[in-house]
Chains A and B, each alone.
Chain A
Amino acid sequence: MNSLSLRGVEKSFGAQWVLRGIDLEVRTGSLTAILGPSGSGKTTLLRIVAGFERAGAGTITLGGRLADGPGVYVPSEQRRIGYVPQEGSLFPHMSVAKNIAFGLGRHKGRSARVGELLELVGLSGLEARYPHELSGGQQQRVALARALAVDPGVVLLDEPFSALDANLRASLRADVHSVLRQSGATVVLVTHDQDEALSMADRVAVISEGAIRQYDTPQRLYQHPVDQRLASFLGEANLVEATIEGGMATTAFGRLAVDVEPGGTGRCVVLVRPEQIVLHEHPGADELSGRVLDYQFYGHDAVVRIAPDGPCGATTIIARQPGSVVFEPGTRVGLSAAGEVRAWAGEAPSEAEPAAQ
């Protein structure tokens, strides 16, 4: 059963195309992230689902009911959606309790429901506060409670954590994730933050230039991106040249297993993720060697950039290493790789072209 289904949704503002033929199926009870750079059309997509904008073409089905399509337009207030915008946008003239109760009718269980939601988001006791008396994170929690109060068919989160500082963001993200899981709501999260999308979502739709590039689980997106651009967009990627034979790719790092053998033989490009690369302080004779360009320490691990000595299809190799070993810039190291890799037929891009952002 799908709570939300988009078919061929298009949108333009004047002559500017923002969305071109979006298809998306969101399973009931799942958390789907729409990941894309700013300007990719993701916020517009969310606003169309919410009913704040009309789709130019295509259909939107919410809970099995057509909400937007030829001759049909269900206004926002009848869509049973919960919307949490970037800034929270609490009603400034209402207390926390009144904000949360906004969408509830005047029935008896109202205040009990408000208390329940406040407990769910961990803000019990703050009923009487006004929005300006809350921190940014608290405001977002109230905004989430307000959206969940109406028991929505779909909860829409528009970059809900981007206005918060990094520490708060991580903890609030975890909290919101568990709140959403407990509530059993179907959630669509719009974000430009990869960590946010990969860590929170069951499935991620990567969108750029108004079209969905890939819609998959976070693991498959990361390990088996559909094309080289997506590989570079999601996390760091080493795209190296290879030749394929019998399910094995021969690269400068040695022979590596390939996930799916690309059509044709001959020259290929394979994706080697930085954590697949292993560095040795003393390079062997038949091994790819290189010179350390720089070393960034993150505590849990470290990222080392290396200029390879021999040709391998990339001018710089990025390796993610345990933080326990330090590689000084200028040091000579040996490189090898382990694990399965993704392969595409054809040439590597002439220069590792940085994808959007």
Chain B
Amino acid sequence: MAVVDVEPLLEGRVSASRRSSARPRLVLVLAVGVAILLALPLIFLLLEAHSVGLAGQDGLGRLVFRHLTAQLLWNTVRLVVVVTAASAVIGTLAAWCVERTDIPGRRYWAVLVVLPVGIPDFVVSFGWVAVAPAVRGFLGAVLIMTLATYPLVYLPVAAALRSSDPAQEEVARSLGVGRVATFLRVTLGQVRLAVLGGAVLVALALLAEYGAFEILGYRTFTTEIFTEFGIGDTAVACALSLILVVLGFVVLAVEFVGRGRGRVVRTGALAARPPVRWRLGRSTLPTLAAMVLLVGLALGVPVGSIVYLLLRHGNDTLPQASILSAALHTAGYSAAAGVLATALALPVALLSVRWEGRIYQLLERSTYLVMAVPGLVIALALTFFVEHYLGGTGYESAALLVLAYAMLFFPLALVAVRTSLAQAPVALEDIGRSLGCSRLAVLGRVTLPLVAPGLAAAFSLVFLSALTELTATLVLIPSGVETLSTQFWAYQTDFAYGQAAPYAALMIAIAAVPSFVLGRWFDRLPARRGVRA
């Protein structure tokens, strides 16, 4: 009976999470539009490199294969490898401690551990360098960037742990597998995709970081590109940017291979029960100490350092009137970017989660590439398009800056949105339709409420990141306006630490509020609803 073997699989696929029939026309059109929008910086880069390669006396090849490039490549690659590994380990362990152990005060840890994601990397470096000038070079960069990026792993892993089926761990234990082996073989398996997704974000963020490396005196591709752009050498900047984009491709290829065919599917009843937390017992104190150390280094040192600067330079740091307007502008641009990025992420995530097809997956994957393009290049690409195709209309406008933010942080929104979409089963939408609701009504009444936490997470991630954005902002800021980061950077560059400190402090404060609210909200959600969307 050939039919018997195959059809359950087909039925399972159709009803569990995907649609097989009904072509996603509207979603496809929207997703392709988003992908094209996000590809614009790359198109600009290629056009520019092409014209430079033809016009300049030196070919692109000579620019690419010089000694300096090898040095930059070595600097960039070793940093990415070491920091990504460290962030993956620390982020995963921290998530497991908070979500799956009875660590005292876990609600507060859940917030504290995430907070560093809101602190700009260049502020962390600034804080460390201000009190410990010895933190420089490779080791300094590893320390600072690990502390600044591990929350990118923590957030998706914690979400995956909250929604995974605790019975799998219980089954493993019942099969005679010990606690540690269960963690390694089952729990890690459940969160594998989340770890991988987070690690890719870390690696790509490192490739694009500028401010922190500038402060630490560590030369990477981005700092060199910025310098070359500063002195007007577009050819070199373009050549280096191309290598950077290739590195981004490599990271994505590693992820694609690592992702494999495995999918975390939740079988069984929709009603979940909370996981049984591991009793730490005697390990409570060491675990607490480790958490204190982590939060102390990632949050305590930079915050303490800035508070110290504020106190020490108390007289010079009377809040200027401009700080309020800078704060309002920053918050406004960031919120708009959060909404825009989340809206752009929805069709792409829908397509890749709900419909089978390599093309759809490639489409989704292509949008991640933007993460490997430095904010500087995105900003210049938008400038290029505005000047060449819109006659300069919109240059230095708030809309252009918001668009740049949304493109820059699109991958963060996509990760959060697709994770949540994957957990809103199609069966529920089918029922909604069978009860007389149109596709649109089902979207509003069933799908969106279920994915709302994911959408909120997407908005928050983009909002928090945009608050701290420096490089693209330096290029695209509307004239006569300062954001917190540009004003901070101006003071910092002049070694006016005392005057820079209040801006740094305010950036941390603004980022902390939504992090705190978000952390508490996520924490209550599963208890009330049983299923986390």
A is bound by B: yes
Q: With the chains together, A39 CA to B6 CA distance in Å?
A: 7
Among residues of B, the one whose C-beta sits closest to the C-beta of A75 is: B433
Tell me whether A27 is interfacial, beta carbon within 8 Å. Answer: no
Given contacts A39-B8, A92-B450, contact A83 B430 (CB under 8 A): yes
Q: Smallest distance from the beta carbon of A201 to chain B beta carbons, Å?
A: 21
- Establish whether residues A132 and B271, one from each chain, have CB atoms under 8 Å apart when the complex forms: yes
Closest Cβ of chain A to B426, distance in Å, is 9
Q: Judging by beta carbons under 8 Å apart, are B529 and A18 in contact?
A: no
Please measure, in the bound complex, the distance between the C-alpha atom of A215 and the C-alpha atom of B201, giving whole angstroms.
58
Does A77 interact with chain B (Cβ within 8 Å)? Answer: yes
A92 CA to B434 CA, complexed, in Å: 17
Q: Mark B502-520, 1 if CB is under 8 A from A, else 0.
A: 0000000000000000000
Q: Report yes or no: A82 in contact with B434, Cβ–Cβ below 8 A.
A: yes
Which A residues lie within 8 Å of B10 (CB)?
Answer: 13, 16, 18, 44
Verify A93–B533 contact, CB threshold 8 A.
Answer: yes
Residue B7 lies at the interface, judged by CB distance under 8 Å to chain A: yes
State the CA gap A136–B427 with chains docked (Å). 17
Contact with A along B521-533 (1 / 0, CB 8 A): 0000000111101
CA distance A86 to B434 in the complex (A): 15
Judged by DSSP, the binding face of A is loop
Question: Could you tell me if A87 and B7 are in contact, using CB atoms closer than 8 angstroms?
Answer: no
Cα A85 to Cα B270 with chains together (Å) = 12
**Given A80-B436, A85-B431, A150-B436, A92:B270 Cβ within 8 A:** yes
A258 interface residue, CB < 8 Å from B? no
Proximity string of chain B (400-422) to chain A, C-beta cutoff 8 Å, 1 when within and 0 when not: 00000000000000000000000
In Å, the complex CA distance between A130 and B434 comes to 21
Query: Which residues from B are CB-within-8-Å of A75?
Result: 433, 438-439
The one of A13, A44, A85, A139 in contact with B427, judged by C-beta atoms closer than 8 angstroms, is: A85
Residues of A within 8 A of B217 (CB): none
Quick check: B436 and A39 within 8 Å, CB to CB? no
Answer whether residue A89 sits at the interface, using C-beta atoms and an 8 A cutoff.
Answer: yes
Whether A91 contacts B428 by the Cβ 8 Å rule is yes
Bound-complex Cα distance A89 to B431 (A): 8
A265 contacts across to B, CB distance below 8 A: none
Chain A 41-65 interface mask (CB, 8 Å, partner B; 1/0):
1011001001111100000000000
- Cβ of B11 under 8 Å from chain A: yes
Neighbouring B residues of A50 by C-beta, 8 Å: 430, 434
Chain A residues with CB under 8 Å of B530's CB are 92, 130-133
Binary A-proximity of B1-44 (CB < 8 A = 1, otherwise 0): 10111111011001100001110000000000000000000000
Q: A39-B4, A50-B430, A93-B529 are in contact. Are A87 and B435 (CB under 8 A)?
A: no
Q: Knowing A43-B11, A89-B427 touch, does A81 contact B3 (C-beta < 8 A)?
A: no
Contact B6 A16 (CB under 8 A): yes
What A residues does B314 contact at CB under 8 A?
none
Q: Chain A, 140-183, contact with B by CB distance < 8 Å: what is the 0/1 string?
A: 00000011011000001000000100000000000000000000
Pairwise interchain contact B7-A44, C-beta atoms closer than 8 A: yes
Query: A47 to chain B: which residues have CB within 8 Å?
Result: 14-15
A122 to B386, CA, bound (A): 65
Residues of chain A contacted by B444 (CB below 8 angstroms): none
Question: 1/0 contact trace for B435-454 toward A, CB 8 Å?
Answer: 11111010001100110000
B275 at the interface (CB under 8 A from A): no
A residues contacting the other copy or chain, number (CB 8 A): 52
Q: Is the pair B531, A132 in contact by a Cβ cutoff of 8 Å? A: yes
In whole Å, how far is A68's beta carbon from the nearest beta carbon of chain B? 12
Q: Is B332 an interface residue (CB 8 A)?
A: no
Is B269 an interface position by the 8 A CB rule?
yes
* Set of chain A residues within 8 Å of B20, measured between Cβ atoms: 13, 53
CA distance A51 to B529 in the complex (A): 30
Residues in A whose Cβ lies below 8 Å from that of B6: 16, 39
Does A209 make an interface contact (CB < 8 A)? Answer: yes
Assess the A146–B8 pair: CB atoms within 8 A: no
When chains A and B are docked, how far (Å) is the Cα of A87 from the Cα of B12?
13
Q: Are A163 and B529 touching (Cβ within 8 A)?
A: no
Given A85-B427, A131-B530, A132-B530, residue A209 in contact with residue B1 (CB < 8 A): yes
Expressed in whole angstroms, the minimum distance between the Cβ of B226 and any Cβ of chain A is: 46
Query: Which residues does chain A contribute within 8 Å of B269, judged by CB atoms?
Result: 87, 136, 139, 163
Cα distance A238–B22 in the bound complex, in angstroms: 47
CA–CA, A80 and B437, complex, Å: 11
Specify which of B7, B434, B438, B450 is in contact with A79 (CB 8 Å cutoff). B434
Give the distance to chain B from A235, nearest Cβ to Cβ, in Å: 20
Contact of B270 among A44, A81, A131, A209 (CB under 8 A): A131
B60 at the interface (CB under 8 A from A): no
- Proximity bits, B347-366, A CB within 8 Å = 1, else 0: 00000000000000000000
B432 contacts the other chain (Cβ, under 8 Å)?
yes
CB-CB < 8 A to A79: which residues of B? Answer: 434
Known: A53-B14, A134-B271, A150-B435. A209 touches B3 (CB 8 A): yes
CA distance A92 to B528 in the complex (A): 10
Nearest-Cβ distance from residue A134 to partner chain B, whole angstroms: 7
Do A17 and B428 form a contact, CB below 8 Å, given A75-B433, A83-B434?
A: no
Interface pair B430/A37, CB less than 8 Å apart: no
B437 partner residues in chain A, CB cutoff 8 A: 77, 102-103
Cα separation A13 to B10 with both chains bound (whole Å): 8
Residues of A4-19 at the interface with B, using a CB-CB cut-off of 8 Å, are 13, 16-18
Docked-complex contact B11 and A87, CB < 8 angstroms:
no
B272 to chain A: which residues have CB within 8 Å? 132
Q: Is the CB of B1 within 8 A of A92?
A: no
Cα distance A209–B3 in the bound complex, in angstroms: 6
A41 and B1 alpha carbons, distance in the complex (Å): 13
Residue of A nearest to B270 (CB): A92
Question: Which of A16, A54, A146 interacts with B21 by CB under 8 Å?
Answer: A54
A225-263 CB contact bits vs B (8 Å, 1 = yes)? 000000000000000000000000000000000000000
| Chain A interfacial positions (CB closer than 8 Å to B) | 13, 16-18, 37-41, 43-44, 47, 50-54, 75-83, 85, 87-93, 102-103, 130-134, 136, 139, 146-147, 149-150, 156, 163, 209-210, 356
The 9 lowest CB-CB distance pairs between A and B, nearest first, are A132-B530, A103-B435, A132-B271, A39-B4, A76-B433, A92-B531, A83-B434, A39-B7, A89-B427
Task: Known A-B contacts: A40-B3, A85-B15. Give 11 more (CB < 8 A).
Answer: A13-B20, A18-B3, A39-B7, A47-B14, A77-B435, A87-B269, A88-B270, A89-B425, A132-B531, A163-B269, A209-B3
Could you show 26 A-B contacts with beta carbons less than 8 Å apart? A13-B7, A16-B6, A16-B7, A18-B10, A38-B4, A39-B6, A39-B8, A40-B7, A41-B7, A44-B7, A77-B433, A77-B435, A77-B437, A83-B430, A83-B434, A85-B15, A85-B431, A87-B427, A89-B431, A93-B531, A103-B437, A131-B270, A132-B272, A133-B530, A146-B431, A150-B435
